[in-house]
Amino acid sequence: MRRFPAVLLFLLLGADVAAADPPLGIGEPRTPEPFTLEQRLLDAARRGDRATVARALDKGAPVGAKDETGRSALLLAARDAGSLELVQLLAARGGAVDEPDTTGRAALSWAAADGRLELVRWLAARGAEIDRPDVDRRTPLFHAAAGGHLDVARLLLERGANVNAPDRFGDTPLMVACIRAQDAMAELLLARGADPALRNQEGKTAAERAAPGAAHCRGQRG
């Protein structure tokens, strides 16, 4: 293969090459967009970075700062980091333990959906609303049932969660458990008073909505 001198190659390819962006690692590094104290706090909470959260608070970041979806540092620590320790730190610094985001979901709802039992237990013990509905009227129990988190569902029920609370489509925790073939969850809910005769907006019961593999669900008759 014939090789061309660098200068000749430049002339052959034209000036467009010179105008192109330099390869990675060459030229001046791009300056990252600066974080405000609030942004640093929220970012650290998402990542579970306790040290940075503490520094941001010490420097004056408001513990109640929220992102564009209305999520506070405490909610993000529960939702994204799943860190009980960080949630406790933020609560001790004045963070609200039961403040919902723009979808109506507070820390308890996100923790229940992820099956974070100890976090759910701690939030419930500090007054988090057990049956707080989100914009779709889905409660923490609904989200726990959808994920098959038996221990979380059991705890919420012990705390007085409404086992038959429907979402805006009329689906109940029992229905979503059956839809997702969560037979063990369905058995628990039925034992705690779930009504298999309830129908959603389409007029279907949990048994009629049950997945093919949900034998226990499909055997129920309202």
**Spatial separation of the C-alpha atoms in residues 169 and 136, rounded to whole Å:** 8
Q: Residue 18: which pLDDT band, with cuts at 50, 70 and 90?
A: very low
Query: Could you report the per-residue pLDDT of 88-121, keeping only the tens digit for each?
Result: 999 999 999 999 999 999 999 999 999 999 999 9
What pLDDT shows up at residue 222?
53
Residue 91 lies in a domain: no
- Give 149: exposed, middle or buried? Use CB within 10 Å, 0-12, 13-18, 19+: buried
Is the residue at 167 inside a domain?
A: yes
The boundaries of the domain holding residue 164 are: 129-222
> What's residue 155's pLDDT?
98
**Tokens found for residue 149:** 């988190």
pLDDT at position 138 = 98
Give the rounded percent of residues in the chain with a pLDDT score beyond 90: 77
Residue 171 lies in a domain: yes
Residue 156 forms part of a structural domain: yes
Q: What is the pLDDT of residue 220?
A: 67
Domain for residue 51, yes or no?
no
* Structural domain contains residue 87: no
- Helix intervals (H) in the chain: 6-13, 16-19, 37-47, 50-58, 73-76, 84-92, 107-113, 117-125, 140-147, 150-158, 173-179, 183-191, 206-209, 215-218
What is the number of domains present in the chain? 1
Neighbours of 60 (CB within 10 A): 9
CATH number for the domain including 208? 1.25.40.20
**DSSP structure class, residue 34:** P
Residues 36-55 have pLDDT tens digits of 999 999 999 999 999 999 99
What pLDDT, in 10s, does the model give residues 138-182?
999 999 999 999 999 999 999 999 999 999 999 999 999 999 999
In a domain, 42, yes or no: no
pLDDT interval class at 215 (50, 70, 90):
confident
Please indicate, yes or no, if residue 210 is contained in any of the structural domains: yes
Mean confidence (pLDDT) of the chain: 88
Q: How far apart are CA 182 and CA 32, in angstroms?
A: 46
Tell me: pLDDT of 20 over 90.
Answer: no
